[in-house]
Amino acid sequence: MQHRWIRLAALVLLGLAGCGMTPSQPQDLKILGQLQLPHGTATEGEAVVELRDTTEDRVLTEQRQLLDGNTSALHFRLHLPSHRLPPSHALSVRAAVLAGGWAQWLSEPVAVDPARGSIDLGTLALARAQRPLAFQTLIDCGGRSFVLGMAGDVLMLRDGERSYALNPVASAPDERLEAVGDSSTFVRTQGRSATVGVGGVVYAGCSVPR
């Protein structure tokens, strides 16, 4: 009987000790790594590395560094205090080199886990990015999307990495634009609806958002 009471008392004391423990506090998030440009690329502009809350699409913190010519590797370090960490949100890191008013080089976004506290992302490779079109409009074709916009004085259709210069077709009964020298690549719109053809493959039932 005495041993039973001793075990019971020990369990009660352990329970009380557990009640007195405070939950672990979230850690500051520290992220380091480096950017890698293609070897021998002479670059001028500004390198930007940002930590983004992808759930709410906002930048939490960033690092900017001016470039001065032939730079192949740039080190970065991001720090976000624990009180600024959004709970249960998805976070990612992405880098860019800005020059001439647009992002000429971009890295792929990398997801990060804030619970790890300190993260070494290693090397983020930067790849040449397309210049954004002016007055661009997204055409949503379900699982496929296209971008329509102006490159200087030329109306362009972008399909991923490919771009097509378009001209209006005066003889068409509807609003139809065709690629120069290729009538199988076109955009036909009617109000907020659209049909897109690329190399003979037609995507119908597309929508043009306001």
Spatial distance between the Cα atoms of 174 and 167, rounded to a whole number of angstroms? 14
For residue 8, pLDDT over 70 is answered with no
Q: What is the mean pLDDT of residues 16-34?
A: 70
Quick one: pLDDT at residue 42? 57
Q: For the chain, what is the mean pLDDT?
A: 83
Each domain of the chain, given as residue ranges in start order, spans: 29-128, 134-207
- Strands 154-159, 162-168: parallel, antiparallel or unpaired by DSSP? antiparallel
Fold designation for 29-128: Immunoglobulin-like (2.60.40)
Spatial distance between the Cα atoms of 69 and 131, rounded to a whole number of angstroms? 21
Q: Model confidence at 12, in pLDDT bands (50, 70, 90)?
A: very low
Longest dimension (CA), the chain: 103
**C-beta of residue 90 within 8 angstroms of C-beta of residue 61:** no
Radius of gyration of the chain (CA): 27
Q: Model confidence at 37, in pLDDT bands (50, 70, 90)?
A: confident
0.75 surpassed by pTM: no
